[in-house]
Amino acid sequence: MQEIRHESVAPTRAQWLRPGTGIDAHRHDDHQIAYAARGVLAVTTDVGTWVAPATRALWVPAGTVHAHHAHGALDLHLVGLPAADNPLGLDRPTVLAVGPLLRELILAYTRAPEDGSPERLRLRAVLLDQVAASPQQPVHLPAPADPRLARLCAILRDDPADGRTLAALGREVGASARTLSRLFTSDLGMTFPQWRTQLRLYRALVLLAEDVPVTAVAHRCGWSSASTFIDVFRRAFGHTPGAHRPG
């Protein structure tokens, strides 16, 4: 079994990660906010994957075993917070919306010296206030436990553009559409269409970070047209896919 690295204190720092690289599975006794000012960050735990472009941050609670992965050149900012500082009151990873003020607070906090000065303590207090006020966002791909559901999800992960119905996919994995529909709700907490949309949005973010043209992203992720993709993307993230192209 792979040994999980343990850190008593979650680091606060800014660092660059090359495309396709990451930070191996580890855990720490502090909470952590992970934010990518550029690129797309994926954080994976044993219950699923959370994904965050530059308009999102990831809340990783203390004790959570997790790994980071960079899609595109990643300007990663990590904010470590003592376990007693939990403005969200959450014990599971969560994606948070990042507005202009929270973005600048994270950048300033991770770039400033960790000197314990009154100015730094005030900066952290404002940062925590902004985190507490940040809406939670459902950019999450939960990991299935049932083997039939796991096979179905693997098929779609390999090809998000696969447009087969749940019944057709069920014939391949040996389960009825009714059974699979129930498993999606009970195991993953969402319907099949919701999970497939989350998967396609996740893959779209990855492809955009790799500088794939918007039209190609739309077709490779299963949307019938670029305009349909742009509409779904805008409703999910509040802006168009072009905002996520490397600059």
Q: Choose between 74 and 3: higher pLDDT.
A: 74
What is the pTM for the complete model shown?
0.83
- Are 218 and 121 in a shared domain? no
Q: Note whether 174 and 70 are same-domain residues.
A: no
* Angle (nearest 5°) at CA 25 between 20 and 29: 135
For residue 36, the cross-strand partners are 76
Among the three residues 108, 140, 172, which one is the final residue of a domain in this structure? 140
Domain count across the chain: 2
- Is the pLDDT at 1 greater than 60, yes or no? no
173 is written with which tokens? 């994995």
* Claim to verify: residue 54 and residue 118 sit in the same structural domain: yes
105 & 131 share domain: yes
Q: How far is CA 31 from CA 43, 217, 222, 225, in A?
A: 14, 34, 36, 41
Query: String of b and e for 75-114 (b: at least 16 CB within 10 Å)?
Result: bbbbbbbeeeebbbeeeebbbbbbeeebbebbeebbeeee
- Expressed as residue numbers, the domain containing 218 is 144-244
* Boundary-marking domain end, from 140, 169, 198: 140
- Gap between the Cα atoms of 127 and 125, Å rounded: 5
pLDDT at 210: 86
Is the same domain home to 131 and 172?
A: no
Q: 20 and 131 share a domain?
A: yes
149 and 130 housed in the same domain: no
